[in-house]
């Protein structure tokens, strides 16, 4: 099927691009393909979708000329480490965006699944996993050419990054290359290299944080930092250290 922006992305051999242009939710399509036994490395993507899924009960507003992708993986690691793939994906997409925006653009990460350019959100990320740890889907949505209407703190990569030549296809190529590099480093070296990248563009200790979990619990307080597993640690009114693991955040 012809990709939606008219380009055939050139991906590393570890990935197989599957472009969809029927308006379906890319995340749902990738999850269904994973359940049906699609091979690891299948990269479902589109530059438009009629509805994007974010966290339970919330939608990702999906303007055209975006990059919406779902990458199917087959975990060969303990289920307790599944959430760490989110930070691998976050850093990979952040570096892919950084390669294409103009120099000195302010790019920041917001634990564990948001990317901001010039202070506004341009990308979000989610994980879906099989209860038996047979498959994992990493989904990423990026506002590339348009910002969603009516959302004050949202923008798009072309505008905030100062480069109107960025396309969904070019970002997909750079993300695939970065992800292959960082998933291999994670497998060989653990979280430290990933966390080093993340901390360079993450709020500093003492910054006020607020995290909402799928259980409707809201955790707020000054940031302590990220632990060696990528969990967020904040000081709350009831606990001197409240640790939020990646698996807890993504309900894995």
- What pLDDT was estimated at residue 5? 44
Integer Cα distance of 151 and 54 in angstroms = 15
Instruction: Determine the Cα–Cα distance for residues 106 and 201; give it in Å rounded to an integer.
Output: 9
Say if domain 208-249 classifies as CATH 2.30.30.
Answer: yes
Least confident of 39-53, 120-134, 158-172, 228-242: 39-53
Domain range list for the chain:
16-200, 208-249
Q: Do the two domains 16-200 and 208-249 of this chain adopt the same fold?
A: no
Reply yes or no on domain 16-200 having CATH 3.30.930.10.
yes
Q: How far is residue 147's CA from residue 170's CA, in Å, rounded to a whole number?
A: 18
Sheet holding 232-234, edge to edge: 208-212, 218-226, 232-234, 242-244
Q: What is the pLDDT of residue 237?
A: 87
Record the pTM.
0.93
Beta carbons within 10 angstroms of residue 88's beta carbon:
25
> Tell me: the pLDDT tens digits for 57-102?
676 777 788 999 999 999 988 899 999 999 999 999 999 999 999 9
């Amino acid at each position: 099927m012809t990709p939606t922006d008219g380009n055939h992305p050139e991906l590393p051999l570890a990935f197989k691009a599957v472009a969809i242009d029927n308006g379906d939710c890319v995340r749902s399509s990738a999850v269904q393909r994973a359940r049906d036994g699609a091979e690891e490395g299948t990269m479902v993507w589109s530059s438009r979708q009629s509805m994007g899924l974010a966290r339970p009960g919330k939608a990702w507003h999906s303007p055209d000329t975006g990059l919406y992708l779902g990458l199917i993986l087959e975990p060969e690691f303990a289920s307790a480490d599944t959430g760490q793939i989110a930070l691998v994906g976050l850093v990979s997409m952040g570096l892919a965006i950084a390669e294409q925006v103009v120099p000195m653009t302010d790019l920041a990460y917001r634990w564990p699944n948001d990317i901001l350019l010039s202070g506004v959100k341009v990308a979000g990320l989610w994980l879906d996993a099989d209860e038996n740890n047979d498959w994992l889907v990493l989904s990423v949505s990026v506002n590339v050419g348009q910002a969603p209407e009516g959302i004050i703190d949202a923008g798009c990569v072309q505008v905030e990054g100062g480069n109107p030549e960025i396309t969904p296809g070019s970002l997909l190529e750079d993300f695939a290359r970065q992800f292959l590099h960082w998933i291999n480093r994670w497998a060989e070296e653990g979280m430290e290299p990933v966390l080093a990248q993340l901390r360079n563009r993450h709020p500093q200790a003492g910054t006020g944080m607020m995290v909402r979990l799928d259980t409707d619990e809201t955790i707020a307080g000054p940031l302590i930092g990220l632990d060696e597993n990528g969990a967020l640690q904040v000081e709350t009114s009831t606990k001197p250290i409240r640790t939020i693991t990646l698996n807890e955040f993504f309900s894995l």
